Amino acid sequence: MSQTPPPEVEVAGLDVVFASGRRSVTAVRDLSFEVARGEAFGIVGESGSGKSTVLKAIAGLVPAPAGAIRIGGRSLGPKRSAADRKLMQFVFQDPYGSLHPRHTVEQTLQEPLAIHRIAKGDSLISQALRDVGLSDALRYRFPHELSGGQRQRVAIARALILSPSLLLLDEPTSALDVSVQAEILNLLARLRRERSLTLLFVSHDLAVVAHLCERIAIMRHGELREVLPVERLRRGETSDAYSRELLRASLGFARAGESLAFSPETR
């Protein structure tokens, strides 16, 4: 009997508390979920839900209690080794802030290669640019010479150049126009297929997450309200009151008494 591989990501009882002086804010409370290898998992929540904090805890950017985070079966603490860093990479929300303003595209892509002492950087960089659909002419440009969509592609190229198996995405398309968002989402779907990536996609936009992900977790005020497969979400089969409210609000504006094309509550 073959053994199923361990889940790529296991979060168990994650608590994240930010303390400054006497005041403390609980950003994430007792969160537990699992993501299988190769799965696209979405986390949706409004502001203050703690969704970005979960992602940062997995990445090691904010401290998490020991044993709360396991990647590929291994428990990971805040101190990450070089090998740990190669396993997972992060795409940030703001395409204007996630690239160093004084580094050319080439330098931005070279940096992870230099840190991990990977040779033949030039060909890897050319390949990375091709993978994200950027022309080689942009190689020596600075971020301020690129559009938002192009910057985000560079950020994705940078994330993938070390060939991680897990990609963490924190609202990667929220700052982009709808048409540019469509291109980036298509790009992510293709890259995921080609490289068999596991995706952890955080967003406040339910429609975007439902497009890309297979299972969706809904968070509110630091707590996990529900995890459900996307088909059930689309049919409105939510079991949590807040999830229902979020779904209804995401469908658009409805005046009192008016019903939308599909009403989740008729189930």
Partner 1 sequence: MSEAPLLEVEGLDVLYRGRGGEHRAVRDVSFTLGRERLGIVGESGSGKSTTGRALLGLIPPPAIVTARQLKFQGQDLTQLSPRAWQALRGRRMSMVMQDPRYSLNPVLTIGRQIMETYRLHHRAGAAEAKRRALEMLEAVRIRDPETVFAQYPHQLSGGMGQRAMIAMMLVGEPDLLVADEPTSALDVTVQNDVLRILDDLVTRRGMGLIFISHNLTVVSSFCDRVLVMYGGRVVEQCDAKALHEARHPYTRALIAAAPDLQRPRAELAVVHRDPAWLA
Partner 2 sequence: MSDLAPGAIFDAAPRSRGEARIRDIRRALRPLMRNRLAVFGLVIVALLAAMAIFAPWLTFGVSPIAQDLSQRLQPPSGAHWFGADELGRDIYARTVYGARVTLAIVALVSVIVAPVGLAIGCSAGYGGGIVDSVLMRITDIFLAFPKLVLALAFAAALGPGIENAVIAIALTSWPPYARLARAETVTIARSDFIAAAILQGASTSRILFRHIAPLCFSSVMVRLTLDMAGIILTAAGLGFLGLGAQPPTAEWGAMVAAGRDAIFDQWWVSTIPGLAIFVVSLGFNLIGDGLRDVFDPRSS
**Contacts to partner 1 by CB under 8 A:** 46-47, 177-179, 181-183, 185-186, 189, 204-208, 210-211, 230, 233-234, 245-247, 249-256, 260-262
- With respect to partner 1, which residue has the nearer C-beta, 15 or 46? 46
Round to whole Å and give the CA distance between 45 and 39.
20
> What residues contact residue 210 under an 8 Å CB cut-off, 6+ apart?
42, 216, 230, 233, 234
Residue with tokens 């290669």: 113
| Residue 266 partner contact from partner 2, partner 1, none using kind-dependent CB cut-offs of 5 to 8 Å | none
Site for partner 2 in 185-244 (CB under 8 A): none
Q: Examine residue 138 and tell whether it contacts partner 2 (CB under 8 A).
A: yes
Out of 1, 19, 82, 256, the residue judged to bind partner 2 by CB under 8 A: 82
Do residues 128 and 161 make contact, with C-beta atoms less than 8 angstroms apart?
yes
Q: Examine residue 21 and tell whether it contacts partner 2 (CB under 8 A).
A: no
Of 146-154, 196-204, 214-222, 226-234, the segment contacting partner 2 by CB under 8 A is 146-154
Q: How far is the CB of 174 from partner 2 (least distance, A)?
A: 13
Radius of gyration of the chain (CA): 19
- With respect to partner 1, which residue has the nearer C-beta, 130 or 234? 234
Residue 171 DSSP code:
S
- For residue 184, the one-letter residue type is I
What CA–CA distances, in Å, run from 255 to 120, 205, 252, 259, 262? 60, 21, 10, 8, 14
- With respect to partner 2, which residue has the nearer C-beta, 99 or 199? 99
Round to whole Å and give the CA distance between 10 and 7.
6
Locate 205 and state its tokens.
């936009």
| Phi, psi at 217, each rounded to 5° | -105, 140
Q: How far is the CB of 185 from partner 2 (least distance, A)?
A: 14
Q: Interface residues with partner 2 (CB under 8 A)?
A: 59-61, 80, 82, 85-86, 89-90, 92-94, 97-102, 104, 106-107, 111-112, 115-116, 133-135, 137-142, 144-150, 155, 158, 162, 179-180, 183
